[in-house]
Amino acid sequence: MNRTTLENIQLIDIPKISDPDGRGNLSVIEKDIIPFEIQRVYYLYDVPSNSTRGGHAHIELIQCLIALSGSFDVVLDDGKNKKVVTLNRPDIGLLIPTGIWRELENFSSGGVCLSLVSDVYKEEDYIREYGDFLSFKNA
């Protein structure tokens, strides 16, 4: 049985370096910030505000989502409970462990979602049907 719950989800502070001359901020992600070795990076952008992305869970993959620009909501589901996390700061990452269903929605205009993941793309790692997800959680 996959015992991952919403309590296993974490927000990660990403170091922010502010320029003293007001020229903007810089954030850095190094190996100690994200608790897994990053194997793939992708980003979502130009997502219409009425669209939903995600709609799946992973068997082994761990994911960290960051709102690089704008905002969006992440609906998280562990098979028993649901929680919505709004991401709207580029210095905060949402760490999603294995066995959590996720959907991304309510993208603001110009919203950009960066995804850092623990493995390369493997279709067999995806659970794309919610009923299959519930069976996986209860197996």
One digit per residue, pLDDT tens: the chain, 139 residues?
A: 678 999 999 999 999 999 889 899 999 998 899 999 999 999 999 999 899 999 999 999 999 999 999 999 999 999 999 999 999 999 999 999 999 999 999 999 999 999 999 999 999 999 999 999 999 998 8
Euclidean distance between CA atoms 102 and 100, whole angstroms: 6
Candidates 132, 122, 124, 128; CA nearest to 79 is 132
Per-residue pLDDT, 49: 87
CATH number (domain holding residue 128): 2.60.120.10
Look up the pTM and report it: 0.94
The answer to the question of residue 113 being in a domain is yes
Give Rg (Cα) of the chain: 15
Per-residue pLDDT, 139: 80
Structural domain boundaries enclosing 101: 6-138
Number of domains within the chain: 1
Beta strands in 8-111 (DSSP E): 10-13, 16-18, 25-27, 40-44, 53-58, 63-69, 72-77, 82-87, 92-96, 101-105
